[in-house]
A and B are shown apart, each in its own frame.
Chain A
Amino acid sequence: MKIRFLLPVLAVVYLAIPYLWGGNNYVMSLLVAAFIIAGVALAWALLANLGGMVSFGHSAFFGVGAYLSALLCINYRLPVLAGILMGGIGAAVASIAMLPALRLRGPYFALAVLAYANIFKILAMEFKGITEGAAGVTNIPALPTVMGFDFSSKLGTYLVIVTIVLLFTGSYHLIRVSHYGAALKAMHDSEDATRVVGVNSTLLKAMMLFVSAFMTGVVGAVNAHYINFIDPDYAFDLGWTLLPMVAVVFGGYRTLMGPLVGAVGIFMLDQLVFKALIGTGHQIMLGAVLAVMVLFSPDGLVPLIGDKWKRIRRAQA
């Protein structure tokens, strides 16, 4: 991202939003939820855009990250931030189980990963001695207070999740502009063409899976320490895959900002507008918005805005 775009974005998320709504717990809780979805959406888009894999299994990484961090912090008194990091690493390790699925393509990969995700949910349900089973894990330690600032508050959690999401965005950008990113993009349509020039395509795809799983695990862990309670149905809910997917398609999965704009935009639209208009079943409006977006701009909102902006600039020139 160019610096002239980055600075205003940083000013808005770190200064304007906390200044305007920092004391409003309702708005802050909405933003925390939106950025949690944005984090997963970004990780999902990285795997889809660079790895060429459409995953229905990100709820597994989300759940593993949440459980691992929560259990390590409760049972081994690990500091929360270390627990969050371990949650990410744990999710990346869990993704090793999905490596055999890398041989599959398209819908076969998607279905295989969906099955894997269910296995993790069943494991969390059945290993009651470790996970407390269906009863779930309670009293998960909250985010810490550092130098008098309470990061477990709505504003504190917002700053933590925004920072994590921005760091992930930067990492995604660095991968995308590297030679690895170029090779990954090239692999989508012509994998053999990349393999005959020395690209180990399986390794690159596996690396993207690890990175995506790590990111999702970290976000899952932050969420666990934010709400202080998880159970298998919640932590491994398919919604942790589907809502980010909708956000990514809405925002534009091939762009860096698409997943973020999509997640924050669609979640806030749903919670602030659609919920006010239709109390029950407001999610139906999300489906309608997504259908309109796919029909009129299949590449998503960010490319649509980009095109319009270019046209305006051209007309002015």
Chain B
Amino acid sequence: MLKLESINVRFGGLAALQDVSLLVDSEDMVGLVGPNGAGKTTLFNVISGLVRPTGGRVLFNNIDVLRKPLYARARMGIGRTFQIPQPMHELTVRENLLVAQRFGTGSVNQSKIDEILDFVRLSDKSDRNAATELALTELKALEVAKALAIQPKLLLLDEVLSGLETAGKRQFMQMLSDLHWRFDVGILIIEHDIETISSVCKRVCVLNFGKLIADGTADAVFKDPEVIKSYTGESGA
């Protein structure tokens, strides 16, 4: 479904991504980890269209989407969330989803909106102002709900668990596990917490200084000496 070929991104003198190649299928739920500044969010920005790479190709369902703008990629089925929730201001929770569905899919389906609201446990908050009347956990849930409203084939989740307290995190993890199957969507998820990502994703990719240094099962990846070194600065051997 998603194929990244030798993606390179430079910000001035800084190589944010170097030769990153990656495959994500519709059945996959892939964890993307790495230390701060490793290039994880930059990779999401490249896939979704916020950042244009200096080299490489982004193929989505065998179509090169590199020259397609952000909104066109969303309409093709690439949904994403932001690390810092970005609710649509002045709109209620339901209106946020309606706008996403109307523009992302070209039509409005209220029962689908209800289903998504129920899934992310925001049904009783649907008439609240999204920007001013939601707690952080609810804002994170709204991010996921908006992305689901465009009926994505691929979902990019950027640190949806960060900043949540233990109970909220547990609730969210359960939701993420269900989401993959219930909405039949491939998922690429950025997360710092190794324990969390291991419990949710079978496959994990590791970025460090803009390079993909590991791609495999969670068990194998987190035993990889290079991965341990990237996190601790020490050799795992």
Contact = CB atoms under 8 A, between A and B. Distances in A.
Contacts of A193: 82, 86-88, 146
> Among the interface residues B75, B100, B104, which one has the most CB atoms of the partner chain A within 10 A?
B100
A199 interface: yes
A198 B150 contact: yes
A166 interface: no
A114 interface: no
B98 interface: yes
A116 B71 CA distance: 29
Interface string B44-87: 00001010000000000000000001110011000110100011
B150 A186 contact: no
Contact of B103 (A189, A192, A199): A199
Interface stretch (B89-97, B189-197, B208-216): B89-97
A195 to B, nearest CB: 4
A200 B71 contact: yes
Contacts of A194: 88, 99, 103
A190 B103 contact: no
Contacts of B149: 197
Contacts, number: 82
Interface residues of A, number: 18
A193 B74 CA distance: 11
Contacts of B79: 196-197
B71 A179 contact: no
**Secondary structure dominating the interface of B:** helix
A185 B146 CA distance: 16
Nearest to B152: A197
14 contacts: A182-B98, A183-B103, A185-B88, A188-B90, A193-B87, A195-B70, A196-B70, A197-B103, A197-B150, A198-B74, A198-B100, A198-B105, A198-B150, A200-B103
Given A188-B89, A198-B105, 14 more contacts: A182-B98, A182-B99, A185-B90, A186-B91, A186-B99, A192-B86, A193-B86, A193-B87, A196-B79, A197-B100, A198-B150, A199-B71, A200-B69, A201-B71
Contact of A190 (B50, B75, B88): B88
A185 to B, nearest CB: 5
Given A193-B82, A194-B99, A185 B89 contact: yes
Contacts of B160: none
Contacts of B105: 198
A189 B150 contact: no
Contact of A182 (B80, B95, B131, B147): B95
Nearest to A203: B71
B86 A190 contact: yes
Contacts of B88: 182-183, 185-186, 190, 193-194
B10 interface: no
Contacts of A200: 69, 71, 103
Interface in A172-194: 179, 182-183, 185-186, 188-190, 192-194
Contacts of B75: 198
Contacts of B89: 185-186, 188-190
Nearest to B105: A198
B229 interface: no
A193 B150 CA distance: 13
A201 B69 CA distance: 11
Contacts of A198: 71, 74-75, 100, 103-105, 150
